[in-house]
Amino acid sequence: MMFQALPQEIQDLLAVLEYWDEILEGFIMMIWLYVWALMIGFFLGLFLAILRQYGGAIISRIATGYIEIVRGTPLLAQILLLYFLPYSLNIPIERWAFYTNFRISDREMTFILLNPEILVGILALGLNSAAYQAEYLRGAITSVGTEQLVAAQSLGMSRRVGIVHIVLPQALRRVIPAWSNEAAYLPKYTIVVWYIGVPELFGKAHYLVFKEFIPEATFIIIAIIFLVLISTVSKVLDVIHKRTAIPGL
Amino acid sequence: MGKPVLRIVDVWKSYGELEVLKGVSFELMEQEVKVIFGPSGSGKSTLLRCINMLDPPDQGEVYLSEQNLMEPGINLNIMRANIGMVFQHFNLFAHLRAINNVSIGLRRVKGVSKEEARSKALKALNQVKMAEWADHYPAQLSGGQQQRIGIARALVMEPDVILFDEPTSALDPELIGEVLQVMLELAKTGTTMIVVTHEMGFAGAVASEMLFLGNGVIIERGTPQHFFASPKSDRVKTFLKQLDILYGSHKGLLKLSKEEEDK
């Protein structure tokens, strides 16, 4: 083999990369979970932030309660709770799955779009992320201040119209730097779904370690994938932040 | 003069223990300019916010063209569109260009088409001499320019009355003139206005009546001539003297230091 001439470390990395199809499957799953969780978290988080900020005494407290409970308990506990809830309520779980097969060069790959575990994973990650995103968004809404909303109302706009057309366009611009925290954290959080058997990137890494027993090379490759992904996300958000900046501010 | 545009009847307002307004009543006729002045904390801004129900009074009545705004079930959003407001700190919409700051009320409240709103907004900007700045964002403009856009934003809605809440007190001295100039022109063209201000020159030029507010009540009212020539209460005399020292000629300042010396 021509590899024999290379140092052991390089040989290890190449041996792991030999399983690129497995790694790719895991990567796609991770992105899939990430995108869904980020979107669910954003829209639910925005809703929670508005309720907490403008909801009045009772609704505001309910929103606050949700946010504090979710932020105050471990994500893993939340995932396991959601996962085992149907069993403890004696709701029968049917096995079902939507999946797609595809082929790149000589490798046959399967990507499961949705099954009960993935559904639980997406929901748990999204519900969790919503609590954090709600607080980032609330901070941005608060920083816009009440003066402009008062001015909007003085023109005859309802509070709702004022929030939608005056406060949110500014809050959503201002939130980007803080919100990029959540966008950078979430890919790493997705590895928790490994515990309920979703074959994402970290799960694939474990599988490779058991199979080939080259943990250093395996985890280095996984770490590099996360690093590249998250750096890209940060850079993109930074560009969006600059492009959407309000002139003069 | 015509019919009363605004009728304030025995308005009371408190925040917790703090009583800010303790029974204020007055009428505002069409095309009238009323100036409200008085020491800080006397309830001037609160009174304005009670009039357009941004902070509804605890007691009393506010009539806009004989429509009682305190009536339960009334759509305050619609009523507020008829009461313009200009703020001390401008409160412009930071993410919108000047032109859109002015047109957004027409678009979102009155449902005016985009083109019509734009042409009306340009006209209003022209009135405050800001048409050439239409495409600038608030943060790119000086305080005086921002305040003139604030005035155009209120003006474009063609309200029955415009409330000015200390429109020049957050401005650098050299920018006050351009804003007062715009307000003078509005007053002369028959705009109905209530102006909270300490600009006595402006008051003297256009006010039909001045109200001196102190501790939540109208302590004294009268024409500018009355206040400048022979104010009755000592509170008013002291206050006007202080204003004179602050904004007036050096005469006031010299007179005061001479009095101190004489003591």
pLDDT of residue A238: 96
A4 band by pLDDT with thresholds 50, 70 and 90: low
Residue B194 sits in the same domain as residue B127: no
Spell out where A105-245 has E strands: 107-114
Helix, strand or coil, per DSSP, at residue A238 = helix
Residue B143 sits in the same domain as residue B262: no
pLDDT of residue A169: 97
Q: How far is A233 from chain B (nearest CA, A)?
A: 25
Q: How far is A241 from chain B (nearest CA, A)?
A: 14
Contact B115/B107 with Cβ under 8 angstroms? Answer: no
Partner-chain contact A156 B157, CB within 8 Å:
yes
Q: What is the pLDDT of residues B3-29, one digit of tens each?
A: 799 999 999 999 999 999 999 999 999
Residue B237 sits in the same domain as residue B209: yes
Residue B60 sits in the same domain as residue B152: no
Q: How far is B160 from chain A (nearest CA, A)?
A: 12
In terms of pLDDT, which residue wins out, A52 or B259? A52
Partner-chain contact A157 B85, CB within 8 Å:
no
Partner-chain contact B91 A148, CB within 8 Å:
yes
Q: What is the arithmetic mean of pLDDT over A243-247? A: 95
Query: Residue B2: phi, psi to the nearest 5?
Result: -85, -145
Is residue B125 situated within a structural domain?
yes
DSSP A8-24: HHHHHHHHHHTTHHHHH
Residues of B in contact with A161 (CB under 8 A): 108
pLDDT of residue A7: 87
| Domains of chain A: residue spans and CATH | 28-199 (1.10.3720.10)
Residue B180 sits in the same domain as residue B252: yes
Residue B182 sits in the same domain as residue B261: yes
Residue B172 sits in the same domain as residue B262: yes
Pairing state of beta strands B67-68 and B59-64?
antiparallel
pLDDT of residue A16: 87
| Residue A4 in tokens | 């024999």
Nearest to A247 among B108, B109, B137 (CB): B137
| Interface contacts (A, B; CB < 8 Å) | 76
A90 band by pLDDT with thresholds 50, 70 and 90: confident
Q: What is the arithmetic mean of pLDDT over A147-172? A: 96
Is residue B88 situated within a structural domain?
no
Residue B209 sits in the same domain as residue B108: no
**Complex prediction ipTM:** 0.90
Q: What is the pLDDT of residues B86-143, one digit of tens each?
A: 999 999 999 999 999 999 999 999 999 999 999 999 999 999 999 999 999 999 999 9
pLDDT of residue B251: 52
Residue B190 sits in the same domain as residue B261: yes
Nearest to A156 among B105, B139, B140 (CB): B105
Residue with tokens 């748990």: A124
Q: What is the pLDDT of residues A106-153, one digit of tens each?
A: 888 888 899 999 999 999 999 999 999 999 999 999 999 999 999 999
Q: What is the arithmetic mean of pLDDT over B212-227? A: 94
Residue B139 sits in the same domain as residue B257: no
Partner-chain contact B109 A156, CB within 8 Å:
yes
Which structural domain, as residue segments, surrounds residue B46? 18-82+162-263
Residues of A in contact with B104 (CB under 8 A): 155, 165
Q: Which of A141, A155, A168 to substitute to test the interface with B, most B CBs within 10 Å? A: A155
Distance CA B142, CA B131 (A): 15
Spell out where chain A has E strands: 98-104, 107-114
Partner-chain contact B91 A156, CB within 8 Å:
no
Is residue B11 situated within a structural domain?
no
Is residue B1 situated within a structural domain?
no
Domain stops at, among B117, B141, B158:
B158
Would you say residue A2 has pLDDT above 60? no
Helix, strand or coil, per DSSP, at residue A207 = helix
pLDDT of residue B2: 65
In terms of pLDDT, which residue wins out, B90 or A14? B90
Q: Considering only CB atoms, which residues of chain A are within 8 Å of chain B? A: 147-148, 150-158, 161, 165-166, 169-170, 173, 246-249
- Tally of residues, chain A: 249
Q: Tell me, letter by letter, the H, E, C secondary structure of chain B.
A: CCCEEEEEEEEEEEECCEEEEEEEEEEEECCCEEEEECCCCCCHHHHHHHHCCCCCCCEEEEEECCEECCCCCCCHHHHHCCEEEECCCCCCCCCCCHHHHHHHHHHHCCCCCHHHHHHHHHHHHHHCCCHHHCCCCHHHCCHHHHHHHHHHHHHCCCCCEEEEECCCCCCCHHHHHHHHHHHHHHHHCCCCEEEECCCHHHHHHHCCEEEEEECCEEEEEECHHHHHHCCCCHHHHHHHHHHHHHHCCHHHHHHHHHHHHHC
Which range among A3-7, A112-116, B25-29, B183-187 shows the weakest confidence by mean pLDDT?
A3-7
A8 band by pLDDT with thresholds 50, 70 and 90: confident
DSSP state, residue A109: E
Distance CA B120, CA B114 (A): 10
How many structural domains compose chain B? 2
Partner-chain contact A152 B93, CB within 8 Å:
yes
pLDDT of residue B245: 78
Average pLDDT, chain B: 92
Measured between CA atoms, the residue of chain A closest to residue B139 is A248
